[in-house]
Amino acid sequence: MPKKTELQNKMSLLQKLFDTGCVTEKQLQGLEMEDILVIPGITVDDMKELVILQKCSKKNRLFSYLSGNSEAREDENAQSYL
Protein backbone atom coordinates (compact mmCIF):
# COMPACT_ATOMS: atom_id res chain seq x y z
CA MET A 1 0.00 0.00 0.00
CA PRO A 2 1.46 3.40 -0.97
CA LYS A 3 2.40 5.83 1.76
CA LYS A 4 -0.15 8.60 2.40
CA THR A 5 0.72 12.08 1.22
CA GLU A 6 0.91 14.99 3.64
CA LEU A 7 -2.46 16.29 2.41
CA GLN A 8 -4.07 12.86 2.83
CA ASN A 9 -2.80 12.73 6.42
CA LYS A 10 -4.29 16.16 7.10
CA MET A 11 -7.60 15.19 5.55
CA SER A 12 -7.62 12.00 7.63
CA LEU A 13 -7.12 14.08 10.78
CA LEU A 14 -9.91 16.44 9.74
CA GLN A 15 -12.21 13.47 9.14
CA LYS A 16 -11.44 12.12 12.64
CA LEU A 17 -12.33 15.52 14.09
CA PHE A 18 -15.56 15.77 12.07
CA ASP A 19 -16.54 12.22 13.06
CA THR A 20 -16.22 13.12 16.74
CA GLY A 21 -18.36 16.24 16.35
CA CYS A 22 -15.62 18.86 16.17
CA VAL A 23 -16.91 20.87 13.21
CA THR A 24 -16.25 24.53 14.07
CA GLU A 25 -13.17 26.63 14.72
CA LYS A 26 -14.46 27.35 18.22
CA GLN A 27 -14.70 23.62 18.98
CA LEU A 28 -11.23 23.07 17.51
CA GLN A 29 -9.75 25.79 19.71
CA GLY A 30 -11.54 24.35 22.75
CA LEU A 31 -10.07 20.87 22.42
CA GLU A 32 -8.07 19.85 25.47
CA MET A 33 -5.81 16.84 25.88
CA GLU A 34 -8.59 14.77 27.48
CA ASP A 35 -10.80 15.44 24.44
CA ILE A 36 -8.03 14.60 21.99
CA LEU A 37 -7.10 11.31 23.65
CA VAL A 38 -10.61 9.89 23.22
CA ILE A 39 -10.70 10.49 19.45
CA PRO A 40 -10.84 7.02 17.86
CA GLY A 41 -7.68 6.15 15.96
CA ILE A 42 -5.73 9.26 17.04
CA THR A 43 -1.95 8.87 16.83
CA VAL A 44 0.93 10.87 18.25
CA ASP A 45 1.60 12.25 14.77
CA ASP A 46 -2.07 13.27 14.54
CA MET A 47 -1.76 15.07 17.87
CA LYS A 48 1.29 16.99 16.65
CA GLU A 49 -0.57 17.92 13.48
CA LEU A 50 -3.61 18.93 15.52
CA VAL A 51 -1.54 21.47 17.45
CA ILE A 52 -0.38 22.97 14.15
CA LEU A 53 -3.97 22.98 12.86
CA GLN A 54 -5.15 24.81 15.98
CA LYS A 55 -2.43 27.46 15.53
CA CYS A 56 -3.27 27.93 11.85
CA SER A 57 -6.98 28.12 12.57
CA LYS A 58 -6.38 30.77 15.20
CA LYS A 59 -4.36 32.82 12.68
CA ASN A 60 -6.96 32.30 9.92
CA ARG A 61 -4.48 30.32 7.83
CA LEU A 62 -6.40 27.12 7.09
CA PHE A 63 -5.67 27.26 3.35
CA SER A 64 -1.95 27.70 4.08
CA TYR A 65 -2.11 24.74 6.47
CA LEU A 66 -3.75 22.48 3.90
CA SER A 67 -1.28 23.51 1.18
CA GLY A 68 1.67 22.71 3.44
CA ASN A 69 2.83 26.32 3.43
CA SER A 70 2.09 27.24 7.02
CA GLU A 71 3.99 29.52 9.33
CA ALA A 72 2.80 27.45 12.28
CA ARG A 73 4.70 24.44 10.90
CA GLU A 74 7.85 26.55 10.70
CA ASP A 75 7.30 27.73 14.28
CA GLU A 76 6.76 24.12 15.42
CA ASN A 77 9.92 22.94 13.65
CA ALA A 78 11.94 25.80 15.14
CA GLN A 79 10.75 24.93 18.66
CA SER A 80 11.64 21.25 18.23
CA TYR A 81 15.31 22.17 17.99
CA LEU A 82 15.35 24.05 21.30
pTM of the model: 0.77
Q: What whole-number distance in Å separates Cα of residue 50 and Cα of residue 56?
A: 10
Q: In the structure, what pLDDT confidence band is assigned to residue 76 with cuts at 50, 70 and 90? A: low
Q: What whole-number distance in Å separates Cα of residue 28 and Cα of residue 68?
A: 19
Q: Rounded to the nearest 10 degrees, what angle do helices 44-58 and 6-19 cross at?
A: 80
Give residue-wise pLDDT tens across range 16-43: 999 999 999 999 999 999 999 999 999 9
